[in-house]
Amino acid sequence: MGIQSAAVLKTGTRRRSKMKENSSAVSCGNCSVRRLCLPVGLADEDIQRLEQVTRKKKILKAGDVLFRAGDSFSNLYAIRSGSFKSVVIGADGDTQVTHFALPGELLGLDGYSGHAHPSYAEALEDSSVCVLPFNQLEGLAQQVPALQKQIYTIFSEELKQENDVLLLLGKRSADMRLAALLLNISSRYARRGYSASEFVLSMPRTDIANYLGLTAETVSRLISRFQKQGLIKVQGRAVTILDLIALSELAGTHCSYEN
């Protein structure tokens, strides 16, 4: 290798290394999803104390498993970028997708009560998380009332999400289920400051079907029907909601994004 080529390679390596270091250096104070995560309502000095707990970051590629079913509970994971699915494995070996998690949300709460994770979390795309050792987080929360209140709020929201899933998979028809899921994802992206009408579904249709209790063929057929009805436009995994009100009426819900 020539001297010039070696210098270019070395420079490129340093640049990539610096970019990686800068990416890992994102703190709670300047994180783009801080208002949706644990630092909500915390004073600057308390955020600095929290950063001592959340110093460890983890980067995962699509398909990587963050934690497995049966792993002992020791950490919570705050999603900085990307998305995940939570999956439960039944006694017969069948799998059930129970949740799709987006930036600003926490993973691992399901392991708190039983001290072990009943499900596994898999990255749907290249993703990054902050690792929150729960014992340290709990100790800090006892000293910072605002943090303790936020943790209780997150646990409450987790229970609400479980109830929403039961409602979604209950007596609703197949088209109502899919419409409700699209609205749910739309509203969650809107809360993060992204477009409510244009977003990318990081999860494959097989996972969507599993989550909704449908077949992949049914999901594909419903998506085609929604497009013909002028409700949505789909190109690959990119979704554009064309008629939010009509989609909300189909789902039997409303289109407010203030929850």
* Residues 73 and 194 grouped into a single domain: no
**If you search the block for the tokens 């646990």, which residue do you land on?**
155
At 7 the pLDDT is 40
> Which of 127, 148, 166 is the last residue before a domain boundary?
166
Q: What is the pLDDT along the chain (259 residues), one digit of tens a residue?
A: 443 334 433 334 443 333 343 344 456 656 655 555 666 677 778 778 887 777 788 999 999 999 999 999 999 998 989 999 999 998 898 999 999 999 888 899 889 889 999 999 999 999 999 898 999 888 888 888 888 888 888 888 777 777 777 777 777 899 999 999 999 999 888 887 788 999 999 999 999 999 999 999 999 999 999 999 999 999 999 999 999 999 999 998 755 444 3
Which pTM does this prediction carry?
0.79
CATH code, domain with 193: 1.10.10.10
Q: Domain of 243? A: 173-251
Give the CA-trace dihedral at 73, 47, 157, 112, to 10 degrees: 10
Domain end: 149, 166, 183, which one? 166
pLDDT at 6: 40
Query: Which of these three, 120, 143, 166, is where a domain ends?
Result: 166
Range list of H helices, the chain: 3-24, 44-53, 134-143, 145-168, 174-191, 205-212, 216-228, 244-251
> Who's near 62: CB < 8 A, 6+ residues apart?
123, 124, 125, 126, 127
